[in-house]
Amino acid sequence: MQKTSPPGLPAKVKADAIRACSSNLRNRERHTQARLRRATKRTANLADWLNDINEGSAGQILAIDAIVPRRAGQIEEAVSLHKRRTQALRTY
């Protein structure tokens, strides 16, 4: 008696596997694109915010610091936080 190799997978199982694989790839691509759009948007917003600080708003922030001294630390902390975030986004 001759041994035969096991039969291959039925066509339906193969088709289901291929369909699931391509669906997963499409979903992964869609989520990657969405993540990239969000990161780009955040980077643009942070860049605008920092540009505003560097250009016209610096005088206003200094005036706020002079009027309300306790805000000075909060503003410096916010600026350093945004700088860290932009740096993290650049390295990401």
Indicate the pLDDT class of residue 5, thresholds 50, 70 and 90. very low
Indicate the pLDDT class of residue 61, thresholds 50, 70 and 90. low
- Structure-model confidence comparison of residues 66 and 50, the more confident one: 50
Lowest mean pLDDT across 7-11, 33-37, 76-80: 7-11
* AA letter at 9: L
What's the Cα-to-Cα distance from 57 to each of 20, 48, 54, 91, rounded to whole Å? 53, 12, 7, 27
What is the C-alpha to C-alpha distance for residues 63 and 78, in angstroms, rounded to an integer?
A: 16
Q: Mean pLDDT across the stretch 55-80?
A: 58
- Percent of the chain at pLDDT > 70 equals 55
